[in-house]
Amino acid sequence: MTVSIVSPERILFTGESTQVITRTLGTGEIAFLAGHAPFLGALSECHTRIYMADGDIVDVAVHGGFVEVSNNKVNILSDVAEIGDQIDRARAVRAKERAEEALRHEHDAEAAASLARAHARLNATGGLAGTTAGNH
């Protein structure tokens, strides 16, 4: 099946895939295989995995948007999405630490959103292990 990740500015990614796993609002992770029934859902901040036909896995940090599935095509429409190997991991770790520090003092929707974005980025670059001791 064909997978595309599209932002308002450009097509970030397109390729042939055997499976896509992403996370929708309110329902958790969902997997799409060839022949999946038509589907439309809102995406949360998440780590999306695209299993390519050649066996590679493309990791993507998706920061909201929508997923649409029809006719053996998966389209992810997001204002912001980042391919894992293009993410500055050190910057994402610093953003995670700043957000956690802000949330220690008071609950702030902006800090919570920042933490969710940092987690999506870090998961797309290999996971949270090793970011900071005791803060996973």
Number of domains in the chain: 2
What is the rounded CA–CA span in Å between residue 111 and residue 104? 10
Q: Is residue 134 situated within a structural domain? A: no
Q: Specify whether 98 is located in the same domain as 32.
A: no
pTM over 0.85: no
Q: What per-residue confidence (pLDDT) applies to 80?
A: 85
Q: Say which residues have a Cβ less than 8 Å from residue 111's Cβ, sequence separation at least 6.
A: 99, 102, 103
Q: Is residue 133 situated within a structural domain? A: no
Q: What per-residue confidence (pLDDT) applies to 128?
A: 62
Q: Is residue 130 situated within a structural domain? A: no
Q: 90-105: per-residue pLDDT in tens?
A: 787 777 787 788 778 7
Q: Specify whether 42 is located in the same domain as 103.
A: no
Backbone angles phi, psi at 69, to 5 degrees: -125, 125
Q: Give the range of the structural domain holding residue 118, as residue numbers without chain letter.
A: 86-124
